[in-house]
Structure 1
Amino acid sequence: MKISFVLPNNSDHPIGGYKVIYEYANMFASNGDDVTINFTLYDRVPNKCVGLRGVLGKIKRNILYHVGILVESKEKVTWFNLDSRIKLNFVLPQEKYFPDSDIVIATAWTTAYTVNKLSSRKGTKVYFIQHDERIFGPAEFVKPTWSFDMKRIVVASWLKEMLQNELGVKAEVVKNFVNSDEFDISNSLTNRKHVVSMLNHNNPFKGTADGIEVLKKVHDKIPDLEVKLFGTPHVPENLPEYFSYTQNATSKQLKDLYNQSAVYLFPSRIEGWGLTATEAMMCGAALVSSKNGGVNDFGINQQTALLSEVGDKEQMSKDIISLLDDNYKRITMAENGYNLVKKLSKEVSFYKLNSIFEDWK
């Protein structure tokens, strides 16, 4: 097959949604398929969505692109090891710049506008939905993309239910996965100190501020608590001394960090899936999470995770303390979580996605 992924601009730093696409791109390339990743220098969203400044930006990018300059885009992907057979294509959102393909895949609401305008020569149009992206863009422009004349794939069960309930549209579910080549248990579950890890993210929907408050409450009860934050932004200001921070962590660094963790805290207010949560579970960390939607496919309350209502910082802190104070409870939950997420393999997800594409091409 000829497969053409369409992503927004390439900022070349770790982003969960990009990582999922890169993983699939590698698997299709290894399968012998012809794979192109198209990075759009802007997208064909309605002008009223971006305003005058955005329209002028589009004009600027058009001019500079035609004189050989990429604006606000990196020309390489350095943080992920992409298969050398994959072609990278930095394009304006116009028909002539996209390769003819069997399947062309929008990967975000902005790129859905671009793919929706392509001709059938560019491939069967697929919308790969990883989140309720109304948290990233105006609902009046995001929601209509779900009804475009495209095939739809979602990464989590709750997203399928959302599309059905809100618009009556159907979607195939291909659940996200954990790459066991990168993440697995390398440190005994019984040999873990009072260490909790958490993602630091600038988007307020990720719940970082809530999580920091929760962990301060935990420290009041467990003074030897160590908190290991990681993420792409700069270190948050005024962190207590028992917090450490790893910026732009490699997969190896993340694996080591997760394997030191007794608990992983996942305080998001809304989440498409939760890659970091499943990675941590694969490395033996017990999960404490809000009921953020994305956790539904792997967080079973009192079995594979301790779940609380979104924003309930008091309950999240109590849940962490209960696990740190009770090794048997923590280890049992960690083992249950590990046994569940190890079934979320990339081989299973790829087989399903590949079968769907074969049917649709």
Structure 2
Amino acid sequence: MKITFLAPHIRIAGGVRAILTHADRLAGRGHEVALMVSAKHGWRAWWRNLRGEGPTWIRGFRPTVRWITGWDNARLPDGDALIATAWQTARTVVEAPDRCGRKLYFIQHYESLYHGDPGRVDATYALPLRKVVISTWLADIMRDKFGAKA
């Protein structure tokens, strides 16, 4: 399968480590996995792409990493699955063309509690994406607050 993860960053953090571990293990099972990561400056994205830079804190990371300066649907690759990993990437996934594959939202936390404007974050949970959660309490929140099956 061709699987693309969208990540707002790949700095050291527990949730990021989980995303990268899933991506790496899928690549290890023979899937073609790409990770698209937001960069604040065009020159930085260009330089990181030129060097093939991935997460420097994970040795032997197998997925392809592509740095981008904005979430533009035209840049998304064709594939079998496109996965939002944070509220900042969910709208891009829902608006992606069908050629990008099945649209998923990998939810590891109720981000409204700590990240971003709660109204904007909550709006992403109501988007028509297949939610994949890591705990029953998140599945309960998706069901009870947003009417979404996870």
Compute the TM-score of the two structures, normalised by the length of structure 2: 0.87
Alpha-carbon distance in structure 2 between the residues aligned to 1:164 and 1:93: 28
| 1:129 equivalent among 94, 104, 107 | 107
- The residue correspondences of 1:136-155 to structure 2 (distance < 5 A) are 136-155=115-134
1:185-225 Cα shifts (integer Å, max 9, x gaps): xxxxxxxxxxxxxxxxxxxxxxxxxxxxxxxxxxxxxxxxx
The CA distance in 1 between the partners of 2:117 and 2:34, in whole Å, is 29
Distance 2:99 2:60 in 1: 26
**Residue in 2 that maps onto 1:70:** 44
1:1-361 equivalences in 2 (<5 Å): 1-10=1-10, 12=11, 14-41=12-39, 61=41, 65=42, 69-70=43-44, 75-84=53-62, 86-91=63-68, 92-134=70-112, 135-171=114-150
Does the CA-based 8 Å contact 1:101-1:122 persist in structure 2?
yes
Which blocks of at least 5 consecutive residues in structure 1 are unaligned?
Answer: 43-60, 172-361
Name the structure 2 match of 1:340: none
Change (3 A) 1:82 1:157: farther
Structure 2's unaligned 5+ residue stretches are none
Deviation at 1:125, TM superposition (A): 0.7
1:78 is paired with a residue whose SS is coil
Distance 1:8 1:102 in 2: 21
Structure 1 residue 115 displacement after superposition: 1.4
RMSD: 1.8
TM-score when scaled to structure 1?
A: 0.38
How far is 1:153 from its partner?
A: 0.4
Q: How many pairs were matched up?
A: 143
Q: Is the 8 A contact 1:29 1:83 kept in 2?
A: no
Q: Which amino acid aligns with 1:143?
A: D
**Structure 1 residue runs of 4+, over 2 Å off?**
73-76, 81-84
Tell me if structure 2 keeps the 8 A contact 1:41–1:93. no
Instruction: Tell me the SS of whatever aligns to 1:114.
Output: helix
Shift of 1:82: 4.2
SS state at 1:79 partner: coil
